[in-house]
Amino acid sequence: MNPNPLRWTFRSQFVLGFVACAGLLAYALYVQFVQRLLPCPFCIFQRIAFAALGTVFLIGGLHAPLRAFGRRAYGALAFVPAASGAGIAGRHVWVQLFPPPIPSCGAGMDFMLQTMPLTGVIRKVLTASGDCSNIDWTFLGLSMPAWSLVCFVVLAGWALHAGFRRR
């Protein structure tokens, strides 16, 4: 195998994308259950986006289409959850930088999902409550949502590179 991951096969690149998503989700669960740092609704939606992206990476890696059209379709399909996750993470970073004037923790995700339609829950989460503006974790000066944003952007580029590069 070529030591340069940018020259690997489509299958290898997509499996690596899946491994990255699985690792990020595993770390999120570690932080939640071992370090006892509870996720806010934005964090939950970012996890869903990572899971969706990882699923596309896994399916694409297992399928490994031979034709350029199939590889491009998987690249574009993986870009959708990556871009959605980047949008959610970007909004979360914005809320952390400019917190709401009156913080309110609001109802938990379970309660909102039981009492509101999914579109209402999404709207409520994206308007952000005060608990989403707390910065409880940093690494190299960036908060967890900022690192999620970086990861979504890198994985989106990785998916597009794997799907659209000339072979």
List the catalytic residues: 40, 43, 47, 105, 132
Question: What contacts 2, CB < 8 A, 6 or more positions away?
Answer: 8
Query: Cα–Cα distance between 25 and 49 in angstroms, integer?
Result: 10
Taken as a whole, the chain contains a residue count of: 167
Q: How far apart are alpha carbons 117 and 17 in whole angstroms?
A: 32
User: What CA–CA distance (Å, rounded) separates 89 from 75?
Assistant: 21
